[in-house]
Amino acid sequence: MRASKYHINTLKEAPSDAEVVSHKLMTRAGMIRKLAGGIYTYMPLGLRVIRKVEAIVREEMQAAGAIELLMPVVQPAELWMESGRWEQYGPELLRIKDRHQRDFVLQPTSEEVITDIARAEIHSWRQLPLNFFHIQTKFRDERRPRFGVMRGREFTMKDAYSFDRDEAGAQASYDIMYQAYMRIFQRLGLEFRAVAADTGSIGGSRSHEFQVIADTGEDLLVYNPESDYAANIELAEAVALASERPPARDALERAPTPGAAKCEDVAALLKLPLTRTVKSIVLATDGDEGAQIWLLMLRGDHELNEIKAGKVPGLDQGFRFATEAEIIEHFGCEPGYLGPIGTARPVRVIADRTVANMSDFVCGANARDFHYTGVNWGRDVPEPERVADLRNVVAGDPAPDGKGTLAIQRGIEVGHVFFLGTKYSKALNATFLDENGKPAVMQMGCYGIGITRIVGAAIEQNHDERGIVWPMALAPFQVVVCPVGWGKSEAVRSAATELYEALLAQGVEAVLDDRDLRPGSMFADWELVGVPLRVTIGDRGLKDGVVEVQARRDAEAAKVPAGEALGEVLARMR
Ligand code: ATP
Ligand code: MG
Ligand code: MG
Ligand code: MG
């Protein structure tokens, strides 16, 4: 690629809404341009990186036996009604109508459509196992799109879906995907960790997230450096709370509540702007109904007014009145501690004190007192105090597996594998004839990778004060040839062009900067863009028969005989 014929448009200033370095650098390097909140154009340089991620993911998926197809972005509501998710999914699901007022969705994920395909296409046990995947645009109407492409509303995901004859087969398919994900993130050159995770709105019973380690990550991971134990803290917390092991439970109960507030009236509470992701809320009131606790459990990101209006799906166990005795009876636990309830997320009691008795919650005859917490740990919570708090609380306690002590770090969820069982196949009646000719329900798994999120996550891990530092596997260009004095010197022009063409002939993704810029701004551009290797060719060096080769991470350039530049670059790419 010749830079003069390409589109390079770097910016000095980062957009004012950019909170994290990857968002700033992607915009400044000209990789993305914002169209609307959480909706971006992938500019030529950005698209090159996205394609790199896609290619690695596609290769490893195919190597693991998955078969590529492409499902539509627009999906009819009927299928979502069949699975129950039309009701359950909540406001992240973007619903649209066609000219006949028929309901459709912009897909946030494709379990329904793939299960519809499976029930039509798979008839016999002989066709199983099967794993279909696609790399497709997703839309999720995130409550708070931010961090550029890391939490977009429109983004690209690789999603795969496995179908098996029985549970053992489905477990095997899950393990194959887990291993494929390990290879994918290794090849991408990222520091990552696989952690046990909650299943969220996708559902299912077993799940792991693949987390890129970064201080700006929205997730908190708890892990045991001396064993394999690693979990998203949401899950770790739940397990600890549910377990009969008091130390872990006590430790977590001592975890400070990030927000405890009081208000005079529940009505005022409902008007409170919720800037945080609230996972669970307990309201206590001594209102007309007598001493009661309102127990409210949320699974995801919901606004209080949506809950109040009954618009949050799956709240059948949620927004309701319960007496303290009822709670104790229902949850089988002492006051002050609630374990997992049904399929909903576990909650912990929330107050900044133990609910020893109702008077702890009830303040005065007409007062309303509420406490909230369960802020999705780490998300929207000022850092680093929160991590430090949590580290103080958890570190030093035994881990759930009884070995070593726990440590905490932050991560960016870039991949997620779920064991689904028959959740969707049962709902959509996806059956096949087994070896005995009897109909059986297919066992499923689903496996997502955030293609565009990976690009942001990679930058969070690989950057310095001058810009992005791409791992070779992701770089938009692998080598940039920078001629100093392009317009003036024939010798420079021919040496630079010769090397550039030799690199192309070797299959190297090289760019020749023939824009005739001053060295300072030329170097600044490529350092911002993050090209891993640079060869600088100038008259002064050529006089001594040398050119300069510099890796993006190197402090200084190495002088290399001009005739050996190609070999040097190729050696460094290995
Ligand atoms: P999060 O917890 O960050 O909201 P999720 O658990 O809702 O993610 P999944 O349903 O597991 O996401 O989707 C699979 C993958 O898609 C995620 O692991 C992530 O890499 C990616 N992804 C999810 N939401 C977004 C988004 N808003 N923008 C970019 N990528 C996303
Ligand atoms: Mg989400
Ligand atoms: Mg998640
Ligand atoms: Mg997830």
Residue nearest to atom 25 of ligand 1 (CA): 151
**Relative to the CA of 197, which ligand 1 atom is closest?**
6
190 and 457 in contact (C-beta within 8 Å)?
A: yes
Ligand 1 pocket: which of 157, 198, 202, 376 to mutate (most atoms <8 Å of CB)?
157
CA dist., res. 287 & res. 145, Å (int): 38
Task: Work out whether strand 479-484 and strand 533-538 pair parallel, antiparallel, or are unpaired.
Answer: parallel
Ligand 1 binding residues, C-beta < 6 A: 109, 140, 142, 151-152, 155, 157, 200, 202, 413-416, 448, 450, 452-453
Q: How far, in Å, is the centroid of ligand 1 from the Cα of 443?
A: 23
- Nearest residue (by CA) to ligand 1, atom 12, is 416
Q: Whose CA is nearest to atom 26 of ligand 1?
A: 151
The number of the ligand 1 atom at minimal distance from the alpha carbon of 145 is 27
Three-state SS letters, 195-260: EECCCCCCCCCEEEEEEEECCCCCEEEEECCCCCCEEEHHHHHHHHHHCCCHHHHHHHHHCCCCEC
- Residue 89 corresponds to which tokens in the numbers above? 């999914």
Q: ipTM for the complex?
A: 0.99
- Please tell me the distance from the alpha carbon of residue 572 to that of residue 533, in angstroms, as a whole number: 8
pLDDT digit string (tens) for the chain, length 574 residues:
999 999 999 999 999 989 899 999 999 999 999 999 999 999 999 999 999 999 999 999 999 999 999 999 999 999 999 999 998 888 899 999 999 999 999 999 999 999 999 999 999 999 999 999 999 999 999 888 999 999 999 999 999 999 999 999 999 999 999 999 999 999 999 999 999 886 655 656 678 999 999 988 888 787 877 777 788 876 655 444 433 333 333 333 333 232 222 222 233 333 333 322 333 333 332 222 222 233 333 333 344 445 445 444 433 333 333 444 544 444 333 333 332 222 222 223 333 222 222 222 222 111 222 222 222 222 232 333 333 334 444 444 447 555 566 677 889 999 999 999 999 999 999 999 999 999 999 999 999 999 999 999 999 999 999 999 999 999 999 999 999 999 999 999 999 999 999 999 999 999 999 999 999 999 999 999 999 999 999 999 999 999 999 999 999 999 999 999 999 999 999 8
- The residue contributing the CA closest to ligand 1 atom 2 is 413
Beta bridge partners of 2: 512
Distance of CA 415 from the midpoint of ligand 2 (Å): 12
> Residue with the nearest Cα to atom 23 of ligand 1?
450
The CA angle 444-446-452, to the nearest 5 degrees, is 170
Nearest of 473, 503, 482 to residue 574 by alpha carbon: 473
- Take atom 1 of ligand 1 and give the residue whose Cα is closest: 413
156 CA to centre of ligand 2 in angstroms: 14
The pTM assigned to this predicted structure is 0.77
Q: Phi, psi (5° rounding) for residue 97?
A: -120, 145
Contact 535, 452 (CB under 8 A): no
Instruction: Dig out the tokens for 94 from the structure.
Output: 């973007």
Q: Which residues contact 335 (CB under 8 A, 6 or more apart)?
A: 324, 327, 328, 349, 354, 355, 356, 357
